[in-house]
Amino acid sequence: MRGYRAIKYILFFCCYVFWVNVVDTLTVDPALLLIVVGSVMFLITFLGCFGALRNATCLLKLFLGILVVVLLLQIAAGVVGYLFTDMVMERTERLMMKAIVRYREDQDLENAIDFIQKKFQCCGVESYKDWSHNVYFECTDTNPSLEFCGVPFSCCIHLQNQTVLNTMCGYGMQQLQQHTAAQGIFTIGCLEKIVWWAKNNLLLVAGLTGGLLLLEVFMIGLAATQISRIKKVQQQKKENAERGKSERKDSYWYPAFANFDDE
């Protein structure tokens, strides 16, 4: 019985950790993608938490099935990404370019792009001139924007002792040659920087991915074990009930020539 309780509360704790992380993520950046992914993870982990505490086999089976599907999808995505690296890179490049086009249309997207460019010290997808695809930074004579032929402030190189942020530091940078622009902004694209970071932190990325997969497998094992224990207890109760019913029926039959006279 102690082993069953340990399995029960470990499964609940694992689901609770995922649950809290998802809620915290949603409060920090409520973007559409995070809302969708967070809602799905919230639902899955809620099923696991409630099913583990209430010993509900139907919820645990649903949680187990969904978790298996998610695990298989993650493995499939990893295999496809490994086998079709060029296709994945091309797709990623198109998505990043669409994000640049929509910059300033979505505040969450704008913050995300600024964070990536400052974090990885990059600008654009392949180079800083990719910002010409955005209507605000487009290098055309008909562009009335004050940011004409410029780049966002997140592309700028900031000095360590700089305390005041100059949001106009990227103005007109696309008109300069790369070696000249490199004195004030980052000129290397973010796609190259992200790939470079992933290669240099391959063990870290692999470790985090492997740890997540192992945790999911662990949770699947816990859920399957708890379902098995619940079924075993239910079967024992059923057998005990049938045995008690049989004993009650037998009590109606008495031995032949039984003496019922009072002594």
* Residue 217 falls inside a structural domain: yes
* Residue 93 falls inside a structural domain: yes
The amino acid at 32: L
* Residue 25 falls inside a structural domain: yes
Place of tokens 């949001």: 167
- Nearest-CA neighbor of 63 among 122, 140, 71? 71
Mean pLDDT of 246-253: 57
* Residue 11 falls inside a structural domain: yes
Residue 226 has which token pair?
A: 């708890």
* Residue 115 falls inside a structural domain: no
Range of the domain at 84: 1-104+202-230
The pair phi, psi for residue 161, each rounded to 5°, is -95, 10
Query: Number of folded domains in the chain?
Result: 1
d(CA 162, CA 16): 42
Distances (CA, A) of 239 to 232, 235, 245, 251: 10, 6, 10, 18
Instruction: Determine contact, residues 16/51, Cβ cutoff 8 Å.
Output: no
pLDDT at position 248, please?
Answer: 62
* Residue 21 falls inside a structural domain: yes
pLDDT at position 251, please?
Answer: 52
* Residue 260 falls inside a structural domain: no
pLDDT at position 29, please?
Answer: 46
- The predicted-structure confidence for 146-189, as pLDDT tens digits, reads as follows 899 999 999 999 877 767 778 888 999 999 999 999 999 999 99
* Residue 160 falls inside a structural domain: no
The amino acid at 157: I
Instruction: Determine contact, residues 170/156, Cβ cutoff 8 Å.
Output: yes
d(CA 41, CA 67): 10
Report the share of the chain in percent with pLDDT over 90. 24
- The predicted-structure confidence for 109-130, as pLDDT tens digits, reads as follows 899 899 999 999 999 999 999 9
